[in-house]
Chains A and B, each alone.
Chain A
Amino acid sequence: MAETVTKEQIKEKVTEALVELGADKDAIKPEAEFEALELDSLDLVELAQIVEEEWGVEITAKDMETLKTVGQALDIIAERAS
């Protein structure tokens, strides 16, 4: 549940999701940019869907505009899931 979710759990689930969406697992690091991971806007929308299903966290179109790296996504999710 939302109150017990840890940063480590979020990182694990997001990594798993990004791999499923086609990213190279070894390249997934907090500083890695989605573009460099060859993830596009549709992939990010699907990531948002996964995040919503998993933790009830909504990532909006406005968030997407500023979301460039894996670390930024992890921060947003951790902030809103806590």
Chain B
Amino acid sequence: MREGSALVTGASRGIGAATARALADAGWPVGVNYRSDADAAAKVVEEIEAAGGKAVALQGDVADPATPDALLKELKERFGTVLVLVNNAGVSVDALTPQIDDEAWDKVIDTNLSGAFRLIRRAIGPMMRARFGRVINMASVVGIRGNPGQANYAASKAGLIAVTRTVAAEVARRKVTVNAVAPGFVSTDLTADLGDDVLEAVPLRRAGTPEEVAACVRFLASEEAAYVTGTILTVDGGMSA
């Protein structure tokens, strides 16, 4: 096992929590970042520790430009250089385009895209120095196809996909891989409001689970995925097929 740590943003619940557990299970000491739900983050840490892993809860809003340095520094001191970065923190403020005001636009872009970029920007140097690194960005099928009512969210995820491909090409020679996972319908708080009729668009006829997405992140973070970079792995029950 390499000496270093994994940071998962937005890891107090849903896909982030499942990803933190999966990476801990793979042997990584994990930073469980959360914005507001300290109790939920503490529970994720407890679960990881109960299973024999290492984890620490780290508060920080990724939309705040000061957060990346604070998170990376804290985790480096606790568990070693961050060699696996999972940009999972995401918010949505859905409305049809005429009703998306600047606040709703900025909030989604700041968290989902700018927050992820700022973390990548600061994390990638030490990964290059280590000649090993894994960046996995949580995109969405919406960032590939678009979705009515989500112009801001779709733009943030499409932007994240573009960042993924670009940075992947930049740092590949340093054995740092950068990939994205693009979930479709997954049972989380973000999708709780969606009705069952949306599942008719899914060949598998069910929502995915956070654990099914986390398993893909775990693979992309592994040594075995060394030749996979710049890719967007859809995890959508066949919806894009």
Contact = CB atoms under 8 A, between A and B. Distances in A.
B126 interface: yes
Interface stretch (A8-16, A28-36, A42-50, A67-75): A42-50
Contacts of A42: 170-171, 173-174
Interface residues of B, number: 8
Interface in B124-144: 125-126, 128-129
Contacts of A52: 125
Interface in A46-81: 46, 49-50, 52-53
B170 A46 contact: no
A49 B129 contact: yes
A45 B174 CA distance: 12
A46 B35 CA distance: 32
B90 to A, nearest CB: 28
Interface residues of A, number: 7
B2 to A, nearest CB: 19
Contacts, number: 17
A50 B130 CA distance: 11
B91 to A, nearest CB: 30
Contacts of B129: 46, 49-50, 53
Contacts of B125: 45-46, 49, 52
Contacts of B171: 42
A42 B171 CA distance: 8
Nearest to A40: B173
A21 to B, nearest CB: 10
A18 to B, nearest CB: 14
Contacts of B173: 42
B32 to A, nearest CB: 26
- Which of B125, B171, B174 has the most C-beta atoms of chain A within 10 angstroms of its own C-beta? B125
Contacts of A50: 129
A53 B126 CA distance: 9
Interface string B4-16: 0000000000000
A26 to B, nearest CB: 24
B176 to A, nearest CB: 11
Given A42-B174, A45-B128, 10 more contacts: A42-B170, A42-B171, A42-B173, A45-B125, A46-B128, A46-B174, A49-B129, A50-B129, A52-B125, A53-B129
17 contacts: A42-B170, A42-B171, A42-B173, A42-B174, A45-B125, A45-B128, A46-B125, A46-B128, A46-B129, A46-B174, A49-B125, A49-B126, A49-B128, A49-B129, A50-B129, A52-B125, A53-B129
